[in-house]
């Protein structure tokens, strides 16, 4: 445990400093303390120094004497970085932490190497929803909303299979300092960075969770679309706090974005994307079947289809998946079509998306084309 006093507020932080040239700074969500990053830090620590801290009014940090807005949380984050001589960092912000990250991206890009925004948006909720939460919590305590919040934080699968952790995180929320919690609710209520984030030029990675009831994937994706250099990654079957629910996947995406993207060849990037979309089993099989005869062709596909095109941030994996399915169906490429239909398990493309795509091409490519594609799809999903 480490402490410092900034603006008269005791700040609780943990700084793992092994003199790496790269530092990651994690900024928390509402009603959590920095332990939510434990599993991520465990896997990420070999790749950079790691700073975590409790926002003022959260965890073991003190409460400000006057209300904090988003810009104040952002300022104190920079003050802590100054105190620890961190000039520039990869900022990883979750929810309100992601709003603070967006504020820093707009106003202090020189302090940021890359920006990672998890389960957040430039505006979360409405004045009415935050006012009613503030009133309920003020009158009845945080305990009164704890079950509702757990539904937002974690997927149904987490509720079913990880009950001890669920109760633990419920305790973390219920034991949050009341005034600090209310202050952060008001700061979220009063914030809107929708116009400002279009100015962010930093490389930016945005995560959404398919089971997130607070910042649903479409909201996060629309934030990513507003930030010129942002890419959106959808994480399946996780709620609002993927660093707890799927730390392995979060670390994988962070490493791809921060560490490998700079140094990897087109072929290496292509392999990562190919494995992410088609699955390891498929790629391992294709690699094992490769001979001298088709080696050059296989490399051509990995470099160009997966490295140069599928790895681009301009369209989401779901959008590329839908496009690919439409084109392959139209070309009557049944084998490739079946492969890309199976890959929808990894691209966030739903059965409903596929149904609509195959209906849509009936108009442009003809009913027989759709008919065949529906037959192929039924076979793929019946045997899945
Ligand atoms: O607690 C919630 O409802 C989820 C959330 C919204 C903003 C934040 O930081 O967490």
The residue-averaged pLDDT of 51-55 equals: 98
Give me 327's structure tokens: 């084109």
Give me 375's structure tokens: 């037959």
The model's confidence at residue 39, banded by pLDDT at 50, 70 and 90, is very high
Distance CA(208)–CA(352), nearest Å, equals: 19
Choosing from 26, 28, 29, 103 the residue with most ligand 1 atoms within 8 A of its CB, the one to mutate for a pocket test is 29
Task: With CA atoms as reference, report the closest residue to 24 among 5, 56, 46, 2.
Answer: 46
- Nearest CA residue ID for atom 3, ligand 1: 149
- Model pLDDT, residue 314: 66
Using an 8 Å Cβ cutoff, are 227 and 197 in contact?
yes
How far does CA 177 lie from the centroid of its chain? 27
Q: Domain segments of the chain: what residues?
A: 2-259, 266-382
Ligand 1 centre distance from Cα of residue 199 (Å):
25
Task: With CA atoms as reference, report the closest residue to 356 among 319, 384, 307.
Answer: 319
- Nearest CA residue ID for atom 4, ligand 1: 214
- Model pLDDT, residue 43: 86
- Model pLDDT, residue 280: 87
pLDDT at residue 261 is higher than 80: no
- Nearest CA residue ID for atom 10, ligand 1: 30
Least confident span in 5-14, 51-60, 343-352: 343-352
The residue-averaged pLDDT of 320-345 equals: 97
pLDDT at residue 384 is higher than 70: no
Q: Which CATH architecture has domain 266-382?
A: Up-down Bundle (1.20)
- Model pLDDT, residue 18: 86
| Average per-residue pLDDT for the chain | 95
The model's confidence at residue 273, banded by pLDDT at 50, 70 and 90, is confident
Distance CA(329)–CA(201), nearest Å, equals: 38
Q: Does the beta carbon of 149 lie inside 6 Å of ligand 1? A: yes
pLDDT at residue 317 is higher than 90: no
- Kindly provide the ipTM of the predicted complex, given to two decimals: 0.91
What does R_g of the chain's alpha carbons equal in angstroms?
23
Q: Does the beta carbon of 96 lie inside 6 Å of ligand 1? A: yes
What percentage of the chain reaches a pLDDT higher than 90? 86
**Alpha-helix residue ranges (DSSP H) falling in the chain:** 38-44, 70-83, 96-107, 127-140, 146-153, 156-161, 163-174, 178-189, 217-226, 242-245, 247-254, 261-263, 266-278, 280-288, 295-300, 317-331, 334-347, 351-365, 367-382
- Nearest CA residue ID for atom 2, ligand 1: 149
Distance CA(207)–CA(257), nearest Å, equals: 12
Q: CATH topology for 2-259? A: Rossmann fold (3.40.50)
The residue-averaged pLDDT of 185-189 equals: 98
Least confident span in 56-70, 90-104, 232-246, 303-317: 303-317
The residue-averaged pLDDT of 30-52 equals: 94
The residue-averaged pLDDT of 203-222 equals: 96
- Model pLDDT, residue 288: 92
The model's confidence at residue 264, banded by pLDDT at 50, 70 and 90, is low
Choosing from 27, 30, 183 the residue with most ligand 1 atoms within 8 A of its CB, the one to mutate for a pocket test is 30
Using an 8 Å Cβ cutoff, are 338 and 370 in contact?
no
Q: What is the largest CA-CA distance in the chain?
A: 73
DSSP 17: -
Q: Does the beta carbon of 240 lie inside 6 Å of ligand 1? A: yes
Choosing from 34, 92, 124, 170 the residue with most ligand 1 atoms within 8 A of its CB, the one to mutate for a pocket test is 124
Ligand 1 centre distance from Cα of residue 31 (Å):
7
DSSP 199: G
- Model pLDDT, residue 47: 86
Distance CA(142)–CA(154), nearest Å, equals: 17
Give me 89's structure tokens: 């960092």
CB within 8 Å of 378: residues ≥ 6 apart: none
Q: Does the beta carbon of 30 lie inside 6 Å of ligand 1? A: yes
Give me 11's structure tokens: 């700040």
Distance CA(79)–CA(68), nearest Å, equals: 15
pLDDT at residue 334 is higher than 80: yes
Place of tokens 């001979």: 291
Phi/psi of residue 212, each to 5°?
Answer: -80, 115
Q: Does the beta carbon of 84 lie inside 6 Å of ligand 1? A: no
Nearest ligand 1 atom, CA 173: 1
CA torsion, points 207, 209, 210, 211, in degrees to nearest 10?
Answer: -160
In angstroms, the first-to-last Cα distance of the chain is 49
């Amino acid at each position: 445990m480490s402490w410092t006093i900034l603006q008269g507020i005791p700040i609780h932080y943990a700084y793992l400093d092994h003199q790496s040239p790269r530092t990651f700074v994690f900024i928390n969500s509402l009603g959590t303390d920095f332990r939510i990053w434990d599993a991520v830090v465990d896997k990420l620590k070999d790749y950079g120094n790691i700073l975590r801290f409790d926002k003022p009014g959260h965890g073991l940090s003190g409460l400000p004497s006057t209300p904090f807005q988003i810009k104040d949380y952002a300022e104190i984050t920079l003050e802590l970085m100054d105190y620890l001589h961190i000039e520039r960092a990869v900022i990883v912000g979750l929810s309100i932490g992601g709003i603070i990250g967006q504020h820093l991206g707009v106003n202090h890009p020189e302090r940021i190497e890359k920006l990672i925004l998890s389960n957040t948006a430039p505006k979360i909720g409405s004045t009415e929803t935050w006012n009613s939460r503030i009133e309920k919590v003020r009158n009845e305590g945080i305990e009164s909303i704890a079950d509702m919040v757990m539904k937002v934080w974690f997927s149904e699968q987490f509720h079913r299979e990880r009950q001890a952790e669920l109760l633990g995180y419920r305790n973390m929320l219920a034991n949050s300092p009341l005034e600090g919690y209310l202050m952060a609710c008001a700061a979220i209520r009063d914030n809107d960075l929708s116009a400002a984030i279009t100015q962010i030029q930093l490389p930016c990675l945005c995560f959404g969770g398919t089971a997130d009831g607070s910042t649903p994937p479409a909201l996060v994706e629309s934030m990513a679309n507003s930030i010129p250099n942002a890419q959106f990654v959808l994480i399946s079957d996780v709620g609002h706090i993927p660093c707890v629910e799927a730390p392995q996947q979060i670390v994988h995406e962070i490493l791809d974005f921060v560490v490998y993207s700079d140094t990897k060849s087109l072929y290496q990037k292509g392999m990562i994307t190919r494995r992410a979309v088609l699955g390891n089993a498929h790629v391992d099989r294709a690699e094992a079947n490769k001979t001298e005869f088709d080696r050059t062709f296989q490399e051509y596909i990995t470099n160009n289809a997966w490295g140069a095109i599928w790895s681009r941030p301009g369209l989401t994996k779901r959008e590329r998946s839908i496009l690919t399915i439409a084109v392959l169906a139209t070309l009557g490429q049944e084998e490739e079509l079946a492969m890309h239909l199976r890959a929808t398990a990894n691209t966030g493309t739903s059965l409903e998306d596929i149904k609509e795509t195959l209906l849509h091409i009936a108009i442009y490519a003809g009913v027989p084309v759709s008919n065949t594609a529906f037959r192929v799809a039924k076979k793929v999903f019946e045997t899945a």
